Amino acid sequence: MQALSKKQKAEICILARKAWDAGAGLDWKGGINEGVSNTALFRAWRREQQQSACGMASLTTCLQDADFPRLMAHFSTLAGEHDQAGYWLERLLEDGRNRTLHILKRECSRFDLAWPGYPGSICRRQYKCGLGAASEKQLWALVYTVRNRGGRKRGWTQGKSRKKTSPKKKEVTANER
């Protein structure tokens, strides 16, 4: 387990500042009138948020694998960047099967398909088991099935047709015989 790199610490601080500017620290900003600088208030607020997100108030004690995605998800949520927060939460899911289930759920909501009914019925029909018993490989197949069917539902095409066409036969003229 490695400590956070300088670049990761900078990314966290920049995102925390974005959340602060978006109004996440409004209850702390009252301290400006009491003679405390905005920077000092921000630093105290960020450390409190870090403590609540991963249990560490200082970035020097945070770990790359465990704490970085958690902090990024936390500050993304506070900044109002919910898609970005979802990305970081997906990275937190260590089990590949759980991650695939999360992606499947996201794809169903993307195409306005019923979760877990729609992929569950496909899973029972194709694999003779429910979503809870499906393997990671089967879940990935369901993700692609949902994407393809959802795209067709919206009228998206998959590019060129997959039909193979035979090459045109060359006409032989009388001179070439």
Question: Mean pLDDT score of the chain, rounded to an integer?
Answer: 83
Question: Average pLDDT for residues 143-148, to the nearest whole number?
Answer: 94
Residues 79, 22 contacting (CB under 8 angstroms)? yes
Average pLDDT over residues 24-34: 65
Residue 2, pLDDT score: 87
pLDDT tens track for 37-87:
788 888 989 999 999 888 888 999 888 877 899 899 999 999 999 889 888
Q: Where are the domains of the chain?
A: 6-92, 96-153
Nearest to 49 by CA among 22, 65, 32, 34: 22
Is it the case that residue 163 has pLDDT exceeding 50?
no
Among 148, 111, 142, residue whose Cα is nearest residue 126: 142
pLDDT at position 88 over 50: yes
- Specify the pLDDT at position 161: 46
107-132: pLDDT as tens digits: 998 999 998 899 999 999 999 988 88
CA atoms of 90 and 34, how far apart (whole Å): 41
Can you tell me the mean pLDDT for 156-167? 53
Structural contact between residues 91 and 30, judged by C-beta atoms closer than 8 angstroms: no
pTM of the predicted protein model: 0.56
